[in-house]
Chains A and B, each alone.
Chain A
Amino acid sequence: MKTRENDVVAEYLREVDQRLAGLPVLQRRELLNDLAAHIAAEQAERNLASEGEIIEVLERLGSPEVVAAAAHEENGTRFTPPPPAANRNKLWLIVGIVAAVVLVLVTCGFLAFAGADSSIEGPAQPAVTAPETLSPS
């Protein structure tokens, strides 16, 4: 029972924290501490026990979006949600392109090498075999 209520609170704080990217780390920590202290004080002073009552406290605090937006507004920063995901995607795109280029180069090199190989051995063999196979027909 106790853990379920804590889960709701932890999830709420995590969702706020995710939206605080770009804020100085100390302010970020301060806000999370203040919110956690607020929730704990409400719980203790009003003797809240059920998950429903905890959720009500969280609803009065406001959605993680609203709270994080207020923090960014006070700090003059902007919530930039895509960067981590976008950067990761871009990184994978670059890795993919590099891998593809390397693969093409290796393949070309291999083919060129194989071609060079066969150009050395190639003429020698047909030169030997060709007359044998050609002469009967």
Chain B
Amino acid sequence: MAEASQLATSLRRGTLEFCVLAMVETEDRYGNELVRRLGEEPGVAVGEGTIYPLLSRLRRSGWLESKWVESPSGPPRRYYGLTPGGRSALDHFRTEWVQFRQTVDRLVGTGEAA
């Protein structure tokens, strides 16, 4: 069990941030929305709260930008959007990921042919 969650953690590291970038690719989303959507996916986030430090880092590295917007129902929401730098990082990841996935599939025998 510990090993299974260790594997999930390792796989998540380095990929989750691009899932987040992709989620705000076409429209800005606020924290709760991002966190909720990720939480619905199996094996992505351990705790919803762990997404906020990730959003912070992506913002500090210039891939995301954020702004506080008044909400009609409740407190102000912090919306996140993709910066041009974030967009090119996402494009780069997509290229790399496809190659990487194909290689792993071939080596591990998880490809469609297998």
Contacts and interface: CB of A to CB of B under 8 A. Distances in A.
A34 B39 contact: no
Interface of A: 16, 27, 30-31, 34-35, 37-38, 40-45, 60-63, 66-67, 70-71, 73-75
A46 to B, nearest CB: 10
Contacts of A34: 31, 52, 55-56, 78
A25 to B, nearest CB: 13
A40 B74 CA distance: 8
A119 to B, nearest CB: 73
Nearest to B17: A74
Main DSSP-derived SS at the A contact region: helix
17 contacts: A16-B49, A27-B56, A34-B31, A34-B56, A37-B76, A38-B31, A41-B74, A44-B74, A60-B48, A61-B48, A62-B49, A63-B47, A66-B50, A67-B52, A73-B53, A74-B57, A75-B57
B56 A30 contact: yes
Contact of A35 (B30, B52, B54, B75): B52
B75 A66 contact: no
Contacts of A73: 53
Given A41-B32, A42-B32, A70-B54, A35 B49 contact: yes
Given A38-B32, A60-B47, A75-B57, 12 more contacts: A31-B52, A34-B31, A38-B35, A38-B52, A40-B74, A44-B74, A45-B32, A62-B46, A70-B49, A70-B50, A71-B53, A75-B53
